[in-house]
Structure 1
Amino acid sequence: MFELGFIVLDYEWVELRQLTYFDAVVRHGGFTRAAEALRVAQPAVSAQIRRLEAELDVQLLRRTTRRVELTDAGELVLARARRMLDERDALHGDLAQAAGALRGRVRLGAIQAVGPFDLGGALAAFHARYPDVELRLRSGPGGQLVGDLDADRIDLAIGPLPDTLPERISRLPLFTDELVLVTAPTHRLAGLGSVPLTALRDEPFACLPADSGLRRILDQACAAAGFAPRVPYESTSVQQIRELVSHGLGVALLARSVATAPGRPVTTHSVSPTPIDRPIGLLHLRNRPLAPAAAHCRVFLLAWPRPGDSVGPAL
């Protein structure tokens, strides 16, 4: 029989339950919401945190009337605690796999535009095959997803594969999405199938913020065309960017999958003379082994069919 109830942390015996409650308080931003997520009484959560602080002889959280904040010591303990909780989940997964069932947790991050890849369908199929695996999904720009991998907030990411991607990130291609110019149907260039970027030199652009991968691609492409784009409209939502263009407020460079999605009408144009393709891949840290559930999910997503494939994942 395996004893998973205690761990050694800096020469102290600490219950994994205490670390679980501590992690939940931080994730959910307070004791009440953590108790709701854990399905326990709020006083029980408070008591476990007090015991953890007493056993470690440090203050982990600063409590205010509205929120809780991590102390410096809390930051250190949280990072160690999450690694230990991940190891616990991995061990449970190994044991469950040996017994014929897969359990654990998969934390996935993804950019907003996942192109021809049916992420919802893939996750639904994975959940149907492995119902005991807990799936979590968060959305964000490519740079944020790399940061989330480094901070151990996610196990896998679906994001762009730029040349500047750090070597510590393992990457495998999933699909390629063409980036197209998008204008309003009433725009002066609306009747053209392809448009050179030089024709938009004096146009206002709508785009993601300056630290996004899409914005870097726009800046680099325009620089190659001999000008710097004027971007008066910034949004963190590609759907909102599409809406702004539809109303005639500007033009945009967007993934074709976003430009052709249901919504207000826009006109799409390939970039001439050379279309802009953006490869998208599945990412994870090379130096952090994936737990069994995440490893299975990685293989499953890589095998998931794209448009034009005739068969599903043979897993």
Structure 2
Amino acid sequence: MELRQLIYFDTVVREGGFTRAAQHLHIAQPAISAQIKLLETELGVALLDRTTRPPALTHAGELFRLRVRRILDHVDAARTEMTELADLVRGTLRIGATPVLGPIDLIAVMATFRSAHPGVTLSYRSGLLDPLVADLDDGRLDLVIGPEHPGLATGHHLEHLADEHFVLALPPGHPLTACARVDFTQTRDELFVCLPPASGMHTLLHETAAQAGFTPRVDFVADTPATVRAFVAAGLGIAVMAASTTTTPGPLITTRPILTPPHHPPITLITAKHPLAPAIRAFADQLKAALTTPEAAP
């Protein structure tokens, strides 16, 4: 049984006869008739009643037609998917990401993706989540990677990538390093370093401090977690930081668990709700594949 025989058979039925099927397929009528005859011989049943005009389906032909239609639908779907994959060899993928990405090595993922799809031009921009999501909504970015927040779920498609948690970052030798776990009330008289007021981290710090009964004194506002870490290492303050940002190479700091830590939202792939373009889907798959490897585990 050959695929072309199934196509010929289906076309004869849809077009209402051998002549119109031959015209539709641009194939000589005897060739179509011969192939369907071979198909019937192989199956051991007659599929078409050739005594009628146009040929009518036999009972076996009716049953067989249902199976053929399913097969051809699968073939069409496979052909569409392969065409979409072929489209990955060209185009642009615009990526936005926040500085906090948990265990995700985004640069390594981008390098692997570009090696696999050299025809796709990658662009990348880092920043705070809200401006990045605004650019996603306006079509200036194709995807955003960053912490989830409640307002995203209604207008975007979210895919969980990794979990994250907070720790207290301290200068080496700070008195609180003597604690196995720090109660946030113990930080009441400390100076804090934090990200800008527009960041989720700034809001979270003030909410956590309020629950502990005080307002934090933030003397230094830094634009990135790396800069926050540099201020802490220099002894200019302490900070609540995502754990992943304290384990990468950088200035020496000490970290301690927080007794009742604030919740860190999961790291999420954020895209528009409409069906994903092939390049976006492939990049998402690359991200998740990287996170399943031992090297990428938190």
TM-score bin (small chain): 0.5 to 0.7
* Corresponding residue SS for 2:288: helix
Separation in 2 of the partners of 1:295 and 1:178? 27
What residue identity is the alignment partner of 1:300? Q
Aligned counterpart in structure 2 of residue 150 of structure 1, from 137, 144, 149: 137
Local SS of the residue matching 1:152: coil
For residues 41-80 of structure 1, the C-alpha deviation after alignment (integer angstroms, 9 at most, x for no partner) is xxxxxxxxxxxxxxxxxxxxxxxxxxxxxxxxxxxxxxxx
Gaps of at least 5 residues in structure 1 are 1-93
1:292 paired residue number: 278
Deviation track 1:1-36 (CA, whole Å, cap 9, x = no partner) reads xxxxxxxxxxxxxxxxxxxxxxxxxxxxxxxxxxxx
Query: Whole-Å Cα distance in 2 between the matches of residues 101 and 183 of structure 1?
Result: 46
Identity in percent: 36
Matched, 1:258 2:245: yes
Larger gyration radius, structure 1 or structure 2: 2
Q: Give the number of the structure whose residues are more often strand, by fraction.
A: 1
Q: Hey, what does 1:224 align to over in structure 2?
A: 211
- What are the residue-to-residue correspondences of 1:160-171 with 2, within 5 Å? 160-165=147-152, 167-171=154-158
Q: 2:98–2:145: 8 Å Cα contact kept in structure 1?
A: yes
Cα offset for 1:273?
A: 3.2
SS at match of 1:216: helix
Which SS does the other structure have where 1:272 is aligned?
Answer: coil
Which amino acid in 1 is paired with 2:156?
I
Distance of 2:260 and 2:193 partners within structure 1: 22
User: SS in structure 1 opposite 2:284?
Assistant: helix
The partner residue of 1:106 within 88, 93, 111 is 93
| Whole-angstrom CA distance in 2 between matches of 1:305 and 1:260 | 17
CA distance in 2, matches of 1:310, 1:154: 25
Query: Which 4+ stretches in 1 moved above 6 angstroms?
Result: none
1:175 is the counterpart of 2:162:
yes
What is the number of equivalent residue pairs in this alignment? 218
Cα shift at 1:99: 5.0
Aligned counterpart, 1:125: 112
Residue aligned with 1:209, SS: coil
CA displacement at 1:275 relative to structure 2: 6.2
Stretch of structure 1 that moved more, 244-253 or 143-152: 143-152
Looking at structure 2, the residues matched to 108 and 264 of structure 1 have their Cα atoms a distance apart, in angstroms, of 28
| Other structure's SS at 2:245 match | helix
- Counterpart for residue 26 of structure 2: none
Q: Which residue of 2 aligns with 1:303?
A: 289
Q: CA deviation at 1:100?
A: 7.4
Quote how far apart the aligned CAs of 1:282 are: 0.3
